[in-house]
Amino acid sequence: MKIVLCCSDGMSTSILVKKMQTAAGERGLDADISAMPVSTLETNAQDADVILLGPQVRYMLKDVQKEFPSKPVEVIAPQDYGMARGGNVLDFALKLAGK
């Protein structure tokens, strides 16, 4: 499963990505989790199973959903994002993917 997190420049999500990778490893899940700037989604997220937006780019939700109509695209809960709750965000991504 490929999960893409995006924010303004791809840097602020790096801690959350590491926490999600740890949570996936602890659960024995095979997950490719990465972070990137929202501006690079068109070329770098074509094979993503789930796209999650950081709260700071939530205003782009409708545009990203239009760009990727066959993929689940949602905004990460601000509390989970701010506290880097990797397990919670992983659960959210799995739910969106129907897994």
CA–CA distance, 78 with 99 (Å, rounded to integer): 23
Q: Are 65 and 73 in contact (CB under 8 A)?
A: yes
d(C-alpha 87, C-alpha 49), whole Å: 18
Element (H, E) at 50: strand 50-53
Q: Amino acid letter at 69?
A: P
CB atoms closer than 10 angstroms to residue 25:
11
* Catalytic option among 7, 20, 33, 45: 7
Report pLDDT for 19: 96
pLDDT of residue 8: 84
Distance, in Å, from the CA atom of 31 to the CA atom of 23, rounded to the nearest integer, reads 10
Per-residue confidence (pLDDT) for residue 10, from 0 to 100: 62
23-44 pLDDT, tens digit per residue, is: 999 999 999 999 999 889 989 8
Segments in the chain below pLDDT 70: 10-11
- Taken in order of first residue, the domains within the chain and their CATH numbers are 2-97 (3.40.50.2300)
Angle subtended by helix axes 14-27 and 86-97, to nearest 10: 70
Is residue 6 part of the annotated active site? The answer reads no
